[in-house]
Amino acid sequence: MSRAIELFARMHEVRSVTADERGRQTLTGDVILAVFGKVQHKMPLGMDLLMAKYVHDAPAANRIIDVMATWLNDESLKRKDLAIALSCVALDVFCDKPVASQNRQLAALWRKYSDQAKRSNRLIKGWLVKTKQLQRNIDGCKTKAAEERLLSAINEFEALIIKERRRIDEYAQSQSLKSSICPRCNGTGSILNTGECPSCGGRGLFVPSVDNIRQHLRHIGLGRVSDKLWERELKPWFEKCLGNLYVESSSVVSLLSDELHKEQAN
């Protein structure tokens, strides 16, 4: 991550932003904000891209989608409805968000390898052990009341297990929609004492393939896309949108870096 993007992300945190060099403050928060405002005026789309990717700003994402819709005015596409949908997918890919066809795999990894999942598994394992102990004790009960107490305790533990499994499922589903970073290796691409992460193939995140993109259209209810339509219109349009987003974001980061460097040199 470049220094400009780091400052951009920190600007939106609760703490104030300053840029320090060798322990001495050289850029104040006001100066940094002024630089960002100047660049925002020159390159609004680029700044919105940074807002959408690094700050998860929904209004910025909506503005980007509106801009991409205007790009279609110069395109002679037969299925502009699918092209608009693909524009949104391109933005998700740029923001490192998984497409619909990847959600199931990511959810399974969050359910198994996340810290929340490990905590849940410990709780569930403990409750299962207690349940089995209580079940063994039932045979030794001498009264109906004692047996009912044990059965009631067993039911309580089983209810806790069901609730916890439901909770971790909901958590995994929620996390799988937020980021394409691999939950198993936390985006590093490797696992300690093991080597390359087998879940993401050492990439650290799940980059959608062309097939993933086509499957996404089916997942969101737009139906199957023919090979001819995909190759002639939709795939080139998707690649063009994604390329434009990366070029624009690269340009705005370069401009931010230059402007910050100028201020720091003054």
Q: Are 233 and 214 in contact (CB under 8 A)?
A: no
User: In tens digits, what is the pLDDT along the chain, a chain of 266 residues?
Assistant: 566 777 766 665 544 444 444 444 466 777 888 888 889 899 999 999 999 998 888 999 999 999 999 999 888 888 888 888 889 889 988 988 888 778 888 999 999 999 999 999 999 999 999 999 999 888 888 888 888 889 999 999 999 999 999 999 999 998 888 888 898 998 888 988 778 998 888 888 888 877 778 777 777 766 677 888 888 888 899 999 999 999 999 999 999 888 888 877 76
Q: How far is CA 181 from the centre of its chain?
A: 7
From CA 19, how far away is CA 59, in angstroms rounded?
A: 28
- Its pTM stands at 0.68
Which has the closest alpha carbon to 78: 232, 262, 243, 257? Answer: 232
Identity (one letter) of the amino acid at 163? Answer: K
91 burial via Cβ count (<10 Å: 0-12, 13-18, 19+) = buried
From CA 163, how far away is CA 171, in angstroms rounded?
A: 12
Q: Which helix (H) or strand (E) holds 191?
A: strand 190-191
Q: What residue has token string 């499922």?
A: 169
